[in-house]
Amino acid sequence: MELEESWQEAVATLGGRLAYRFARPELPARALIHSSWAAERGKAEENNERLEFLGDAVVDLAVAALLYEYDPAMREGDLSRRRAALVNESHLALLAGEIGLGPLLRLGRGEEQSGGRAKPSILAAAFEAVIGAVYLDGGYPAAHALLGRLFAPWVAAPPPLGQSDSKSALQELLQERYGAAPEYLLESEEGPPHARRFAVAVIFRGRVLGRGEAGRKKEAERRAAAEALAGLEKKDGPALARGDLLW
């Protein structure tokens, strides 16, 4: 596929920053297209969301493998917490900034005017889309090698844990106390492709523990888990401490 000159320059710049040469330049070109840009041109489906979906899974697997290889003595719960801290939206946005992804993105006018190039949700999604492009272009070994370079400093010294780790913390708590994991239910998905809003509920044994809304489904799940943790600590702290049933 022959790309226009401006796209060729963007792909070349991205490849240089990643130290990776794309054999299929149409893949990184697609990874740079935000849904707002595609929608304005009447090509709503020609955006980076499918690559983001793929890249999300590749990042999770690669980071899990990197942590597993880094410390053979690390227990499962610690591995989960460390991975959650490394793959959360804010940290992926930071990595996107480190490779200068923001200026290369194709954004619609509205997103451009509202500072979309600095929005963590857009940057994190684009980062995952780029990883998805590398995976399709060079296979998992190429993606793993790239992520190994990008995550190496953080595997040894992870970012601080916080709300971003709420899903892992909630699952660990409920598994430990009650031997079961929570479920996440997508309650609604609204808005145009370039401004989607997801509403998610976290449910345990038929009870809604928390709800969250965000521009990305994963972030909505994390917010729901954070609300659930806050509610359990406030209302059921003594019960949790004793290991009693919540209901």
Catalytic residues: 56, 128
Q: Could you give the C-alpha distances from 191 to 49, 94, 179, 215, in angstroms and in order?
A: 15, 26, 37, 10
Q: Which of 19, 68, 26 minimizes the C-alpha distance to 51?
A: 26
**Contact status, residue 147 vs residue 87, Cβ threshold 8 Å:** no
DSSP state of 99: T
Q: How many CA atoms lie within 13 A of 24 on its CB side?
A: 13
Which residues are 23's β-sheet partners?
none
Calculate the CA 206 to chain-centre distance: 27
Single-letter amino acid, residue 143:
A
